Amino acid sequence: MDWQAYIDTGKLAKWMAGQGLGDGEVTGAHLLGGGTQNLLLRFDYNGRSLVLRRPPPHLRANSNETMRREMRMLEALADSDVPHPRLVAGCPDEAVLGAAFYLMEPVEGFAPVNGLPELHASDAAIRHRMGLSLVEGITALGAVDYQAVGLTGFGKPDNYLERQVNRWRQQLKGYGDFPGWSGPQAIPGVETVAGWLDRHRPSSFEPGIIHGDYHLGNVMYRHDSGELAAIVDWELTTIGDPLLDLGWLLATWPGETPADDTIEGFRIQPWEGFPDADELVEHYRARTHRDTSSIDWYAVLACYKLGIILEGTHARACAGKAPKATGDLLHASTVALFERALGWVR
């Protein structure tokens, strides 16, 4: 990708000087891989390494607002126990680089879905610890007092659970605008799951920060242990019910065999040593005051929501607006997620 067309390093250097980051030139700039289409550029400036994050080249309707929300969240978490990329400076102004962006410190760690280093690959105990520390990341996040860290108004916690099913049902209905889409009938039990969620919804919850897309693909681990280095990709973060992050983890967690998996690529090799789903729940339960007795409901909601999100790419692919292979792969994940949800429902 010709990132220079979207990130003018001269303008960036001038902006950084104005932010009190010193004078200098941007050197050693190169793109980093990531789980999203957002641009991640690592570079050196004034004797330090930095990472710039900005929206994708072709901006979506909410791209700039999403970037502003991310920088606000990272700023709010600065003094917390939540492992996250450290915010250096944010630029909500789209005029500087043509989009909102922010700078963060590089995360010294690795993405497990891209492969394990020798230390982790050779030690089942370290892999077990990786699973437990993954849970501890969201218990720490859910324990943050969002109002005390300046996030009042960041989300809409009122009636958060009541809004979920209809919100995503309408999203699914909207895919009918894509010609050639196979339709909701190609998703097993979509109305059965929706009806069950409405009938069994918890009567109350304690609002808190949620990551919104919590799974093995959105974390990085330390090179020297099984501890989290950072939770990354905060695009869907909001104020809601933190138990949904645990439900999301359960929805995407590899099953007993590869045939039981919902998301391709999340079964890290070797898998031996990682906790099973029940142990993840028990580890969470021991570290929170939240009522986890309805955790199956949150796992089913996560399957429902994520499955419908992924189905959107399949619908676009059916209309020729996305690669067919990608659409087929994500539709298979949608089917697997709803099959897992039906297992809990039944």
Q: What is the pLDDT of residues 268-326, one digit of tens each?
A: 999 999 999 999 999 999 999 999 999 999 999 999 999 999 999 999 999 999 999 99
Under the banding of pLDDT at 50, 70 and 90, the label for residue 60 is: confident
Closest by Cα among 128, 133, 129 to 272: 128
* Average pLDDT value over all residues in the chain: 96
Helix (H) or strand (E) holding 333: helix 324-345
Under the banding of pLDDT at 50, 70 and 90, the label for residue 35 is: very low
Is 3.30.200.20 the CATH classification of the domain at 3-104? yes
Span 231-260, average pLDDT: 96
What pLDDT is stored for residue 58 in this prediction? 85
Q: pTM higher than 0.85, yes or no? A: yes
Pick the CATH number of 112-345 from 3.90.1200.10, 1.20.140.10, 3.10.20.30, 3.30.43.10: 3.90.1200.10
How many residues are listed for the chain in this entry? Answer: 346
**Between the CA of residue 112 and those of 109, 130, 268, what are the distances in Å?**
9, 9, 7
Q: Please, are residues 208 and 255 in contact by the beta-carbon 8 Å criterion?
A: no
102: left (phi over 0), alpha (psi -120 to 50) or beta: beta
Angle at 345 between CA 318 and CA 268, to 5 degrees: 65
Q: Please, are residues 142 and 231 in contact by the beta-carbon 8 Å criterion?
A: no
**pLDDT above 50: residue 161:** yes
Does 270 sit behind a cis peptide bond, omega within 30 degrees of 0 on the bond before it? yes
Any idea where the domains of the chain sit in the sequence?
3-104, 112-345
Angle at 69 between CA 63 and CA 73, to 5 degrees: 145
What pLDDT is stored for residue 209 in this prediction? 98
125: left (phi over 0), alpha (psi -120 to 50) or beta: alpha
What pLDDT is stored for residue 34 in this prediction? 53
